[in-house]
């Protein structure tokens, strides 16, 4: 007789979301496709994507977290660490490029990624972590403890 609870445990682990740092193998295993929700990224040439990865990977102040489900990346976000002269060399975390594949939204994946990056920021000594977002997603971040602080302005260099 088959142990049903043992098999159910295997199934739930298969569908479990794992949040971790980006690895080179992730580039064409869902990562770049996930970024397409922000701006087209999946059509980048493999050698260019790998060069960008190496540059980011070798910068300890540039961390990309990914959410993996069923051995495929389904979401990501970036944390940039900025060391300041103020606050005695304090560090500010900047969260950018938060994205969850449209097929996996509503499963708390974005929340898991943000909480992961907030833990990383805290462990790196950040005295604050900031991000910009649209009004549509502002409630999502407020639910996680972010609060409105300032206005974001943008200057495009092209």
Average pLDDT, the chain: 91
- Per-residue model confidence (pLDDT) at position 2: 40
- Per-residue model confidence (pLDDT) at position 51: 98
Burial category of 91 from C-beta neighbours within 10 Å (exposed 0-12, middle 13-18, buried 19 and up)? middle
Q: Is the pLDDT of residue 17 over 70?
A: yes
Phi/psi of residue 2, nearest 5 degrees: -75, 140
Helix (H) or strand (E) holding 35: helix 32-35
Instruction: Report whether 19 contacts 113 (CB < 8 A).
Output: yes
Q: What is the pLDDT of residues 25-70, one digit of tens each?
A: 999 999 999 999 999 999 999 999 999 999 999 999 999 999 999 9
Short-list 105, 104, 106, 84, CA closest to 93: 84
Instruction: Report whether 66 contacts 76 (CB < 8 A).
Output: yes
Residue 77: count of CB within 10 angstroms of its CB = 22
Domains of the chain: 17-143 (3.40.630.30)
- Per-residue model confidence (pLDDT) at position 133: 94
Q: Is the pLDDT of residue 5 over 50?
A: no
* Separation CA 124–CA 81 (nearest Å): 8
Q: What is the pLDDT of residues 84-95, one digit of tens each?
A: 999 999 999 999
């Amino acid at each position: 007789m088959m142990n049903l609870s043992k098999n159910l445990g295997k199934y739930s682990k298969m569908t479990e979301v794992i949040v971790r740092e980006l690895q080179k193998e992730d580039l064409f295993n869902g990562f770049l496709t996930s970024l397409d929700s922000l701006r087209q990224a999946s059509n980048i040439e493999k050698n260019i994507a790998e060069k960008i990865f190496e540059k980011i990977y070798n910068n300890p102040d540039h961390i990309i977290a990914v959410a993996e489900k069923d051995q495929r990346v389904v979401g990501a976000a970036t944390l940039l660490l900025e060391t300041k002269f103020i606050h005695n060399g304090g560090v500010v975390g900047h969260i950018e490029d938060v994205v969850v594949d449209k097929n996996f939204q509503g499963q708390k994946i974005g929340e898991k990624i943000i909480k992961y990056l907030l833990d990383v920021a805290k462990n790196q000594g950040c005295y604050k972590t900031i991000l910009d977002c649209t009004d549509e997603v502002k409630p999502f971040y407020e639910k996680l403890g972010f609060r409105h602080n300032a206005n974001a302005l943008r200057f495009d260099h092209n």
